[in-house]
């Protein structure tokens, strides 16, 4: 069977980065922010401050940061339901993101979306999607709109569409890629391969476990990258986005990563072996990137402590803001259901009689 383990370097070796120290420090700070935010979100869920589904980016911070670093403000990002980290990396306010998790009026969509539906049109963060693969058709449609209304070139807009490894087996993936390949659409499909579609391994779910090859039937090229290296992820995303802008061709980037926790916060992940869990912990991207920055003298222990203190303060403030924010008003229950008015919209509130007698 084809080996789907991510590419790794020999232990003890460190690839010297040519990036600026400022950028590397920024990457580390963003990774730490996502890590601490997600850890706190898990804690708040356990305290019943957050309800419903809640899927965390723990273990995927390097990929999140690398991908969003490649995007321009004018590009569109469509994500899965595992979307908190992308919202933060795209520049959305941590307090508003946490308030959305709490279901508060001050959340990014007024507390109506919750964990799986982070959205900010100004940031062109086009939402997380609760349905597996639900983001792929609208993302492909957005790429078609760009193709239809503008010319190719270095200044062109582009679309990035996130999906998990299990999503590559559903119909919407293949239907969308077929159209993207046929119509030369400016879109990058990013497969976050953490090797588990919920509790099923890639090898047991896909006849072609090298997922970056899944676009070959539609003449869509793909690459596989080490998802624990934000620079490698960013460079691959930049190249794919350049292809989308200039050549108007879709492509696939498969980022290999490990999920540190279960599929969601309520998943104990008993289907994972002890060895698999230990391997994931050994490849944790946050301490690995910190060690690399310390070895290259981009950071010292004092700078690391300062970054963590700064992030802790941001997350503390986000939780405080969310916890003190008001709940959505019942009087606004039916607002924002549709983008424009439609016939037979609901208008009754809890406690209203079903039939009003004159």
Which helix (H) or strand (E) element contains residue 236? helix 230-242
* Rounded Cα gap, residues 243 and 249, in angstroms: 6
For residue 84, what pLDDT is reported?
A: 98
- Under the banding of pLDDT at 50, 70 and 90, the label for residue 62 is very high
Strands 251-256, 187-193: parallel, antiparallel or unpaired by DSSP?
parallel
Q: What is the pTM of this model?
A: 0.90
Residue 11 has pLDDT above 60, yes or no: no
Structure tokens that stand for 145 in this block: 């709109």
List the beta strands (DSSP E) in the chain. Answer: 76-78, 159-164, 187-193, 196-197, 200-201, 221-226, 251-256
- Please state the separation of Cα 122 from the chain's center in Å: 17
In CATH terms, the superfamily for domain 21-332 is Thiamin diphosphate (ThDP)-binding fold, Pyr/PP domains (3.40.50.970)
Domain locations along the chain:
21-332
For residue 16, what pLDDT is reported?
A: 47
305, exposed or middle or buried, with CB in 10 Å at 0-12, 13-18, 19+? exposed
* Rounded Cα gap, residues 97 and 84, in angstroms: 7
For residue 17, what pLDDT is reported?
A: 56
Q: Please name every residue paired with 253 in a beta bridge, in sequence order, or none if there are none.
A: 190, 223
Structure tokens that stand for 116 in this block: 């799986």
Structure tokens that stand for 296 in this block: 């290259």
**Relative orientation angle of helices 136-149 and 171-183, to the nearest 10 degrees:** 10
* Rounded Cα gap, residues 188 and 238, in angstroms: 10
Range among 24-38, 256-270, 343-357 with highest mean pLDDT value = 24-38
Q: Give the pLDDT confidence of 333-346 residue by residue, as tens digits.
A: 888 888 888 888 87
Q: Give the pLDDT confidence of 14-57 residue by residue, as tens digits.
A: 344 568 999 999 999 999 999 999 999 999 999 999 999 999 99
For residue 335, what pLDDT is reported?
A: 82
Cα–Cα distance list, 44 to 87, 96, 260, 326 (Å): 18, 15, 18, 17
For the residues 64-80, what does the mean pLDDT come to?
98
* Rounded Cα gap, residues 232 and 226, in angstroms: 7
For the residues 135-153, what does the mean pLDDT come to?
97
**DSSP letter string over 168-196?**
GGSHHHHHHHHHHHHHT--EEEEEEE-SE
Q: Which residue has the higher pLDDT, 153 or 1?
A: 153
* Rounded Cα gap, residues 220 and 174, in angstroms: 11
For the residues 290-304, what does the mean pLDDT come to?
96
For the residues 304-320, what does the mean pLDDT come to?
98
**What percent of the chain is predicted at pLDDT more than 90?**
83
Residue 358 has pLDDT above 70, yes or no: no
Kindly give, in sequence order, each residue whose CB lies less than 8 Å from that of residue 144, ignoring residues fewer than 6 positions away.
179, 183, 185
* Rounded Cα gap, residues 108 and 93, in angstroms: 8
The phi and psi torsions of 262 (rounded to 5 degrees) equal -70, 180
For residue 349, what pLDDT is reported?
A: 75
């Amino acid at each position: 069977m084809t080996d789907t383990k991510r590419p790794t370097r020999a232990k003890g070796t460190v690839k010297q980065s040519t990036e600026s120290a400022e950028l590397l420090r920024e990457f580390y700070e963003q990774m730490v922010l996502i890590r601490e935010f997600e850890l706190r979100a898990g804690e708040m869920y356990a305290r019943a401050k957050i309800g419903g589904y809640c899927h965390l980016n723990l273990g995927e911070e390097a990929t999140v940061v690398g991908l969003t670093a490649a995007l321009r403000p004018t590009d569109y990002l469509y994500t899965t339901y595992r979307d908190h980290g992308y919202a933060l990396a795209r520049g959305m306010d941590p307090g508003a993101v946490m308030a959305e998790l709490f279901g508060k009026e001050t959340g990014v969509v007024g507390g109506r979306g919750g964990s799986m539906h982070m959205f900010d049109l100004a940031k062109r963060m086009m939402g997380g999607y609760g349905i597996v693969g639900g983001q792929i058709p609208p993302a492909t449609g957005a790429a078609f709109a760009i193709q239809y209304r503008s010319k190719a070139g270095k200044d062109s807009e582009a679309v990035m569409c996130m999906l998990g490894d299990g999503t590559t087996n559903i119909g919407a993936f293949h239907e969308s890629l077929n159209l993207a390949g046929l119509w030369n659409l400016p879109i990058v499909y990013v497969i976050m391969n953490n090797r588990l579609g919920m509790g099923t391994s890639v090898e047991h779910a896909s006849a072609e476990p090298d997922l970056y090859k899944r676009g070959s039937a539609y003449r869509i090229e793909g690459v596989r990258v080490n998802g624990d290296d934000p620079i490698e992820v960013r460079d691959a995303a930049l190249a794919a986005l350049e292809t989308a802008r200039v050549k108007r061709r879709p492509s696939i980037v498969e980022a290999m990563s490990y999920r540190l926790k279960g599929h969601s916060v309520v998943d104990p992940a008993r289907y994972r072996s002890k060895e698999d869990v230990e391997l994931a912990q050994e490849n944790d991207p946050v301490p690995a990137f910190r060690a690399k920055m310390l070895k290259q003298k981009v950071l010292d222990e004092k700078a690391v402590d300062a970054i963590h203190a700064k992030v802790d303060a941001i997350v503390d403030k986000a939780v405080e803001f969310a916890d003190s924010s008001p709940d959505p008003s019942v009087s606004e229950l039916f607002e924002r259901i549709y983008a424009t008015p439609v016939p037979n919209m609901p208008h009754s509130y809890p406690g209203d009689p079903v039939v009003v007698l004159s």
